[in-house]
Structure 1
């Protein structure tokens, strides 16, 4: 499958999701990627006022930039993949993105101490607020007790509670089935992308997966992969397993594992935007696409060898489940990261999943790509 065919597959999902033609969906996904360099420049242009950025897909495809202060900025049109994309500027945010993320890093311990359970914390690029993700019951109690005002006084930035039922960690080619045994139990994870250190080739998956794993081929055969190393703290959840033979930069991109895509490039986390449509291929859930919600998120609890850094990217449900850990996150042939965990509702359905950006691959290792 070449890059055009890969994007065409994702466009079919996009067309169904947003009720547009396949041709329009394909054009929008091209514009999504082609606009990254321009939105990076806009972010830098308004660095002192930048409070957030989001792609919108309804009622039309456009980019919304949130700024602090009241000085108006004229809207503009940018060229992306041969089409005009509106960029709308909204002012009046109370804090910049940089200020909100700094408050998470600085005040996370104090926030955790003020609440019953360690919350998830993130920057909302659509409103500019510090999002505190807690259970629905806790959210009601905290609002009634005036906790929002107390947290705003502590952090110096606007705060919004987000109610989630419960949040927990998700317990060759990328996207392949990985199985292993730890503590006497058998676990399933998903292979991420192929990597190299310039000498060896390997596959990455999540660090919380078993160290002793085998990759299961489409014929059902198992091939053991040698454990190289594990990096699982703060901003990372990744381990490398070595292949005895050279690998190609390929990953599965459909539920049946009949479609293989190449990796041609990657997107850095700093260039991610809310509303970006990304896809993942998990061993349990198969292939699906959804919108990025938060680009600066710290999952709840102590899932990162202690508190997590606000470096994780969340993607909206409804598709995620245990066994997807390590799964490749991508659009077309561009790699974004590997799945770490998810937040579930009481009925087991998915609120959102979150992934580690390829920015944080272990030192010395890089993506294989064409």
Structure 2
């Protein structure tokens, strides 16, 4: 039986075993070939079972809040600010984009955020039983939680205390951590078999492993070929879905969050900074790891450019992210347009991101906010840029432009993710991001919150 790995436990494995195509400007890992943490799970299940009860969700916290220095900061009169954890701003974006009432969108968001702490807690405390969660399509209020066996009384009671719209589906045969581990094994086995141009993703709703193929992969990745390569890994109860996408994942062109990251001598955004962070006495900002290492901070209101110093990046198992330090202090705010910002009051735990969640993204290059719904989580890419732990978003329009990479994904004042890129499928453009708490934990920084 596969057993849950906490983020820190998974990190220890990956530190010792390098992802096939990892890219680190400041290498922290030895050069031995990376072995999937899921494979480690299979080999170490008995030992790890005794440790599962002690697992807790890893969520960076901080209590730092200070504005950028006045010479590079933004005056209160120039920027509209929204304080607290109010979700109305996000609900308005959703209402405008999807044609629903603001009250309908707000009810869905409130339910989503109310239930999120429970999902993170159950993932960590019940790694052998929690089977993942998903929301209904559209904007109906509700959460379906899959469970292996009957949920214990404390889980049922906690759900009832939060919302009458949580239901349990007890038909799961594998837990969510186990299905994630199995998808990672499939990804690794396919790479070992010589396949390229694909991504794997656990489908918690249907208890399947999904494989998306692009480019040459569409011709190579037949159901029969993949079944031959990975069939021995799959239990009878786990299906295998193959989908062809029409383009490879597209990476957009390579203080406050949501601000422009510009290359030296330029004023047009090369990428977007996501959220502000702190490490010891140093303040900084997060962005995507594939962005240039020569970026400066461009104030969206004053137009002034401030120096930013590249510190560290990661493109690999944990996702696609980097951080830059800046002089002075940093605000707890991030921009959702060039003239308005939100205040970060919390960081979303990666375990609580569920299929059907709604999140929004802002990019400086396009100066647009786009919102969409979670199509899948824990997605792993194998191609020109290989990375795991990606969240896939569908329905987010307008399409991001080059320079929107690295920007913030959020829900109200909750920091959720760092934008990586997009791809085109028969069902439209899919966007994907790295959960911000995974990035902060790996980089050793704390997100600045109010």
TM-score (norm 1): 0.83
Cα deviation, residue 115, structure 1: 6.2
Greater alpha carbon shift after TM alignment, 55-64 vs 282-291: 55-64
Residues 366 and 5 (structure 1), Cα distance of their counterparts in 2 relative to 1, 3 Å cut: closer
Q: Is the 8 A contact 1:317 1:353 kept in 2?
A: no
Which one of the candidate residues 297, 307, 311 is aligned to 2:379?
A: 297
For residues 264-305 of structure 1, give each alpha carbon's deviation from its aligned partner in whole angstroms, at most 9, with x where no partner exists: 1111101211111111111234211111122211123142xx
State which of 147, 165, 171 in structure 1 corresponds to 2:225.
147
| Unaligned stretches of 5+ residues in structure 2 | 1-80
Contact 2:350 2:435 in 1 (8 A): no
Of the structure 1 ranges 328-337 and 114-123, higher mean CA displacement relative to structure 2 is found in: 114-123
2:272 maps to which of 190, 196, 200: 190
Q: Could you tell me how far 1:88 is from its partner in structure 2?
A: 4.5
Higher relative contact order (CA 8 A, sep 6+): 2
Worse overlay, 53-62 or 126-135: 53-62
C-alpha distance in structure 2 between counterparts of 1:4 and 1:26, whole Å: 15
Q: How does 1:34-73 map to 2 (within 5 A)?
A: 34-41=114-121, 43=123, 47-58=127-138, 60-67=140-147
Instruction: Determine the structure 1 residue equivalent to 2:303.
Output: 220
SS in 1 for 2:231: helix
| Counterpart Cα distance in 1 of 2:122 and 2:321 | 32
Quote the Cα distance in structure 1 between the aligned partners of 2:135 and 2:129. 19
TM-score, scaled to structure 2: 0.70
Runs of 5+ unmatched residues, structure 1:
none
1:166–1:346 CA contact under 8 A, matched in 2: no
Task: Confirm or deny: 8 A CA contact 1:237 1:356 kept in the other structure.
Answer: no
* Residues 1:59 and 1:359: Cα distance change in structure 2 (over 3 Å): closer
Q: Which has the higher strand share?
A: 1
Which of 237, 246, 252 aligns to 2:320? It is 237
Residue 112 of structure 1 aligns to a residue in which SS?
helix
Within 1, Cα distance between the matches of 2:274 and 2:381?
Answer: 20
Question: Equivalent residue of 1:329, what SS?
Answer: strand
* RMSD of aligned alpha carbons: 3.3
How many equivalent residue pairs?
356
Distance 1:63 1:251, change over 3 A: same
User: Which of these residues, 338, 363, 375, is aligned with residue 282 of structure 1?
Assistant: 363
Instruction: Say whether 1:162 aligns with 2:243.
Output: yes
Change (3 A) 1:62 1:5: closer
Alignment partner for residue 24 of structure 1, among 75, 80, 104? 104
Aligned equivalents of 2:277 and 2:340: distance in 1?
20
TM-superposition CA deviations, 1:191-217 (whole Å, max 9, x none): 111111130111111122112212222
Aligned match of 2:113? 33
CA distance in 1, matches of 2:286, 2:121: 32
